């Protein structure tokens, strides 16, 4: 029992206090100074200079609008000769922080409500009415099945459906892309940012940019990094991809705008930096449904009042504008906190040196004798002398 209580008694009835020992040793002295220099280099170099630990930090608040420009002419067998402008290929006209430009399409003209055969595939090909279930609908069907098996052409029969007829045949995507000329279209990105903590706002169309310059400039990382107008083909190429390949099935591109600002400097030094990357994964293994596409229709009535529509399956590139960044400005509170942390680290350096000196060096037992001194209770000693 006494053995178990001895550590508890030592904890309750003993007190230790630091003792200053001056060790005159080149090895120990150089080690101590090296540790202190490393800590000072970390605090001054990393915390204060590189990471700007003396600054308060705020995150960016942003708004983005876009505008596309460009003209293209196409002349194909099923579309004919046609001129395309931004009202045709930008769908919808405005989106939040994004823009879609159509580069390829499958057009089904003059559809009307009626009854017609399905497009042949493994689920619609039939031999008799017994193969078609009346009233059945699947996620991939063009309409509601009537239960009849009819000729699709001279060689193939398919199940009949009530739908917009003729049904869309989207198995063969045009190659090369119909709007290959979209490579030369341009996108203007207008971006306003705000750092609310510092009441600082700015836009990416800088004060030095005038209307004349804006009409002629094209963004280039090396020669014109501040121009907010981007050529579509160059965006895709900057991300390491081929526009001709991407235009066929579509895809998603990110235009990244970085607003990292040091507000201890003049406001003119706060400028956006642009970078580009593809956000979908065209090269992934077992990639199902690659690219980017959707359908929309244009409705009209003929002279007799019958309703018709032109169905367009649009393939294209969606551009997502991603704005991020942070701003820093001198603040007394983070400065004092990091100074205090640095002083605390210097204390840790002393503890580290003590551990090495007292437990790792060859003369550790000698240093331990000089470091620790055991003192008995003074009053106990006096009482012992009186009793004698």
Q: Hey, what are 76's tokens?
A: 């194909």
Domains defined along the chain, listed by start: 30-54+332-387 (1.10.287.940), 59-108+184-290+319-329 (2.60.490.10)
Q: Specify the pLDDT at position 211.
A: 87
Please enumerate in sequence order all residues whose Cβ is within 8 A of that of 83, keeping only pairs 6 or more positions apart, or say none. 71, 72, 73
Q: Which H, E and C letters describe 301-337, residue by residue?
A: ECCCCCEEEEEEEEEEEEEEEEEECEEEEECHHHHHH
Burial 298-319 (b: 16+ CB within 10 A, else e): eeeeeeeeeebbebbbbbbbbb
DSSP code string of 29-97: HHHHHHHHHHHHIIIIIIIIIIS-TTEEEEE-EEEEEEEEE--EEEEETTTEEEEE-HHHHBSSS--SS
Q: Residue-wise pLDDT tens for the chain (388 aa)? A: 556 677 776 667 777 777 777 777 788 788 888 888 999 999 999 999 999 999 999 999 999 999 999 999 988 776 788 999 999 999 988 888 999 999 999 999 999 999 999 999 888 999 999 999 999 888 888 899 999 999 999 899 999 999 999 999 887 889 999 999 999 999 999 999 999 999 999 999 988 888 889 888 999 988 999 999 999 999 999 999 999 999 999 999 999 999 999 999 999 999 999 999 999 887 655 567 788 999 999 999 999 989 999 999 999 999 999 999 999 999 999 999 999 999 898 888 888 888 888 888 787 777 777 777 777 765 655 555 544 4
140 vs 134: CA distance, rounded Å: 16
Q: Specify the pLDDT at position 358.
A: 81
pLDDT digits (tens, 9 = 90+) for 261-310: 999 999 999 999 999 999 988 765 556 778 899 999 999 999 998 999 99
Q: Specify the pLDDT at position 378.
A: 58
Ordered alpha helix ranges (H), the chain: 2-13, 26-40, 86-89, 211-216, 232-238, 243-249, 332-359, 364-371, 378-387
Q: Specify the pLDDT at position 4.
A: 65
92 φ, ψ to 5°? Answer: -75, 180
Q: Specify the pLDDT at position 384.
A: 55
Q: Hey, what are 207's tokens?
A: 């004060």
Cβ-contact 88, 217 below 8 angstroms: no
Please enumerate in sequence order all residues whose Cβ is within 8 A of that of 66, keeping only pairs 6 or more positions apart, or say none. 98, 99, 187, 188, 189, 190, 319, 321
CA distance to 40, 68, 220, 325, 382, per residue, from 256 (Å): 36, 17, 14, 10, 80
Q: Specify the pLDDT at position 379.
A: 60
178 vs 173: CA distance, rounded Å: 10
35 vs 371: CA distance, rounded Å: 20
345 vs 12: CA distance, rounded Å: 30
Q: Hey, what are 192's tokens?
A: 């306003």
289 φ, ψ to 5°? Answer: 55, 65
Q: Hey, what are 383's tokens?
A: 């009482």
User: Pick from 119, 195, 206: which is nearest to 159 by CA?
Assistant: 119
Q: Specify the pLDDT at position 388.
A: 47
Q: Specify the pLDDT at position 259.
A: 96
């Amino acid at each position: 029992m006494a053995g178990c209580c001895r550590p508890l008694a030592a904890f309750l009835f003993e007190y230790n206090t630091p003792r200053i020992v001056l060790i005159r040793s080149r090895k120990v002295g150089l080690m101590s100074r090296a540790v202190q220099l490393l800590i000072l280099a970390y605090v001054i170099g990393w915390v204060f200079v590189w990471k700007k630990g003396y600054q308060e930090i705020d995150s960016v608040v942003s708004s983005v609008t876009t505008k596309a420009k460009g003209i293209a002419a196409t002349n194909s067998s099923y579309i004919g000769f046609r001129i395309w402008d931004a009202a045709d290929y930008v769908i919808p006209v405005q989106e939040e922080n994004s823009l879609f430009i159509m580069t390829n399409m499958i057009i089904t003209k003059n559809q009307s409500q009626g009854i017609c055969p399905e497009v042949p595939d493994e689920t619609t090909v039939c031999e008799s009415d017994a193969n078609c279930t009346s009233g059945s609908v699947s996620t991939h069907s063009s309409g509601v099945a009537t239960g009849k098996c009819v000729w699709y052409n001279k060689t193939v029969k398919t199940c009949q459906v009530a739908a917009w007829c003729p049904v869309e045949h989207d198995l063969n995507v045009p190659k090369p892309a119909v709007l290959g000329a979209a490579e030369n279209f341009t996108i203007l990105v207008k971006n306003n940012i705000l750092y609310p903590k510092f009441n600082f706002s700015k836009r990416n169309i800088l004060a030095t940019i005038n209307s004349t310059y804006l009409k002629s400039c094209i963004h280039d990382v090396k020669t014109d990094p501040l121009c907010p107008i981007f050529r579509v083909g160059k965006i895709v190429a900057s991300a390491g991809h081929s526009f001709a390949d991407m235009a066929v099935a579509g895809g998603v591109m990110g235009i990244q705008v970085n607003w990292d600002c040091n507000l201890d400097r003049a406001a003119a030094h706060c400028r956006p930096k642009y970078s580009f990357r593809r956000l979908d994964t065209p090269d992934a293994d077992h990639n199902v449904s690659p690219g980017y596409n959707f359908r929309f229709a244009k409705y009209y009535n003929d002279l007799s009042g019958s309703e018709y529509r032109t169905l367009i399956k649009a393939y294209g590139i969606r551009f997502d504008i991603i704005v991020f960044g942070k701003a820093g400005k001198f603040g007394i509170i983070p400065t004092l906190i990091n100074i205090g942390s640095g002083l605390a680290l210097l204390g840790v350096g002393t503890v580290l040196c003590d551990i090495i000196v007292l437990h790792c060096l060859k003369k550790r037992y000698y240093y331990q004798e000089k470091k620790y001194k055991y003192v008995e209770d003074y009053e106990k000693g006096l009482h012992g002398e009186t009793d004698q």
